[in-house]
Chains A and B, each alone.
Chain A
Amino acid sequence: MSVLWILFVCSLVVLPGIALLAFRWAMRQGEFRHLEKTALSIFDDDEPVGQTTDCFPGGQRGKKPAPTRPPNPISRPRLPEA
């Protein structure tokens, strides 16, 4: 069952090692700061608030009166100049 020991070493030494490195890197990248603001990261600035972005083909979108979105606190990367 030598194969089992290889898996054992992998699971207890190698992978946690990778995990630690990945974690250190993530910390340095600032991954864990401002966790809650991340909820907004899926939206673009121009996306309407409270208005659905999907509907049946040819159909009408939900007509909920919506205010414009406040500026997204998250900085957006820009498309590199072509």
Chain B
Amino acid sequence: MNSPTSTPSSSPGNDPRSRGRPAGVKDLAARDPLEHVEPGESQRPISLMLVIFLATLFSWAGYYAHRYGGGYEPLIYNENAYGLAAAKTNAAEKLDPYALGQRVFGNTCARCHQPDGLGLPGQYPPLAGSEWVLAPGPARMIRIVLDAVQGPIPVKGATFDNVMTPWRDTLNDEQIAAVITFVRTQKEWGNTASPVTPEEVAAIRAKTKARSAAGPWTVAELQALPDQEPNP
């Protein structure tokens, strides 16, 4: 209804307002080079660039949705579960035990025992120079890490009355062996005890399986143990 042909008032010739003015939108475009794309009456063809761009985007979209869509299954959470990369495994990088131990210590133990291994006086016992850490064999320490220990516990002449967090379910044998090795051999803290192997941890984990339900170890229970565990 607003087309110039159907509405007399909008046609330049008939409109009294436009008398004496140049007619037509195109005149403006001719005068001002900045406005060379002034929309005109006719429909310009869609730019080929735009068509190619849109086509590329849509093909990419289809590919990506298919490739990482997990088959649109509700229980598929891994975007690599289907499609081309199904075979791609995400094997965790292998770390040397010291680096792994450092990482585990920083992310778990340091919250209480502090990054410097000195603990918090009156709260959390130190690991640096601790007689529990530097014992000849790791039997007690492995047990403590697996199922925790319940205070009061004497460490370096002070007594700490607190409860530790057990790590049986949250750290694997390799991680526990690595972190115990890291703590026992940490020279910056003056610790120079022997390293621990994952096999030793596995053996004690199996042996104390039933123990975990009974809660943390008590100091008396741990002290009753021999220093050296018989070899598995």
* Residue positions of A touching B, CB distance < 8 A: 29-30, 33-34, 36-37, 39-40, 45, 49-50, 67-71, 73-75
Q: Are B25 and A73 in contact (CB under 8 A)?
A: yes
Smallest CB gap from B43: residue in A: A36
Assuming the contacts A29-B1, A33-B2, A33-B3, asked whether A70 and B10 have C-beta atoms less than 8 A apart, the reply is no
Q: Are A75 and B40 in contact (CB under 8 A)?
A: no
Number of interface residues of B (CB under 8 A): 25
Q: Which of B16-73 contact A (CB under 8 A)?
A: 17-18, 21-25, 27-28, 31-32, 34, 39-41, 43
Inter-chain contacts of B1 with A (CB < 8 A): 29-30
Assuming the contacts A70-B23, A70-B27, asked whether A45 and B3 have C-beta atoms less than 8 A apart, the reply is no
Q: Are A70 and B7 in contact (CB under 8 A)?
A: no
Contact of B3 among A30, A49, A69 (CB under 8 A): A30
Judge whether B15 is part of the interface by a CB distance below 8 angstroms.
yes
Q: Are B18 and A71 in contact (CB under 8 A)?
A: yes
Inter-chain contacts of B27 with A (CB < 8 A): 70
Inter-chain contacts of A39 with B (CB < 8 A): 39
Judge whether B129 is part of the interface by a CB distance below 8 angstroms.
no
Q: Are A75 and B2 in contact (CB under 8 A)?
A: yes
Q: Are A70 and B28 in contact (CB under 8 A)?
A: yes
A54 CA to B193 CA, complexed, in Å: 80
Contact of A75 among B7, B23, B43 (CB under 8 A): B7
CB distance from B26 to the nearest CB of A (A): 9
Assuming the contacts A37-B39, A68-B21, asked whether A73 and B4 have C-beta atoms less than 8 A apart, the reply is yes
CB distance from A62 to the nearest CB of B (A): 13
Most chain A CB within 10 A, of B2, B21, B40, is at B2
Inter-chain contacts of A69 with B (CB < 8 A): 21, 28
Inter-chain contacts of A68 with B (CB < 8 A): 21-22
CB distance from B18 to the nearest CB of A (A): 3
Inter-chain contacts of A33 with B (CB < 8 A): 2-3
A39 CA to B38 CA, complexed, in Å: 9
